[in-house]
Amino acid sequence: MLLKNKNAIITGASSGIGKQIAKVFIQNGANVAIIATSMERLSQAKKELEDIKKDPNQKIILKDIDVSAYKDVEEKFNEILKEFVHIDILVNNAGITRDNLLLRMKEEDFDRVIAVNLKSIYNTCKVIIRPMMKARKGKIISISSVIGQIGNAGQTNYAASKAGILGFTKSLAKEIGSRNICVNAIAPGFIETKMTDELDENLKKQMLQNLPLNRLGKTKDVADLALFLASDMSDYITGQVINVDGGMVT
């Protein structure tokens, strides 16, 4: 029970990695606010979380928020704050892909990926750091990607957004470290989710050949690191990017 009585907000928690992070947090005693755009998928995720609660008093709040829209984030995060009173942990996980070679990439697809994957982190952190600073504690964890470190043909928008998270994380860690707030990023490699299901089979085979651990990652591999970074066990770690990638980037 590493997160007993802690309050966490997790964006993009209706599926994949974000849902698994919510599960691991719930199993460790946290109250969670889960965020996504579709209330239907959030309600389904809530059912799964209710089934694994450790204590009947653990709270699960759902909010349909487009994390790329500042006003939406501000209004609904304040509603969450009213209910939780303080937020101990923010996990910025929501993300999308709109892949194409740059020659064919539409401006709207570049802009949308930057807005959902990167601008969103400005939005959520801007709202949440003030109460965290007052409380003189907090953990902020953002989900980047190995693609932000090594690039990938067809993903200039995605790679730029994920690389941006790294610079943002290191800068914010320096700004608010003195207030006892730790800001870190996780760079997953290829994890088995809806996002990687859509990848071309040949590309997947090629990826596996270059992976020392020779398997795709599981959402739990990422969620367990998020648990560590959210817990008191990581209180002296900030401004770091930790890879969960089977050895892909060394």
Chain residues in the site for ligand NAP (CB under 6 A): 11-18, 35-38, 41, 65-68, 93-96, 116, 143, 145, 188, 190-191, 193-196
**Beta-ladder partners of 90:** 9, 140
158 in active site: yes
- Asked if 3 contacts 227 with a C-beta cutoff of 8 angstroms, the reply is yes
Q: How far is the CB of 72 from ligand NAP (least distance, A)?
A: 9
Q: How far is the CB of 216 from ligand NAP (least distance, A)?
A: 8
Q: How far is the CB of 57 from ligand NAP (least distance, A)?
A: 26
Q: How far is the CB of 207 from ligand NAP (least distance, A)?
A: 10
**For 216, which DSSP code?**
-
Biggest CA-to-CA distance, the chain: 54
Q: Which residues of 207-217 are buried (b: 16+ CB within 10 A; e: fewer)?
A: beeebeeeebb
Query: Helices 107-114 and 156-176, interaxial angle, to 10°?
Result: 30
Three-class secondary structure of residue 101 per DSSP: coil
Q: Which CB sits closer to ligand NAP, 71 or 137?
A: 71
Q: Which CB sits closer to ligand NAP, 95 or 138?
A: 95
Strand 7-11: give its sheet, edge to edge. Answer: 60-64, 31-36, 7-11, 89-92, 138-143, 181-188, 241-244
Catalytic residue among 70, 122, 158, 236: 158
Q: Which residues are designated catalytic?
A: 158
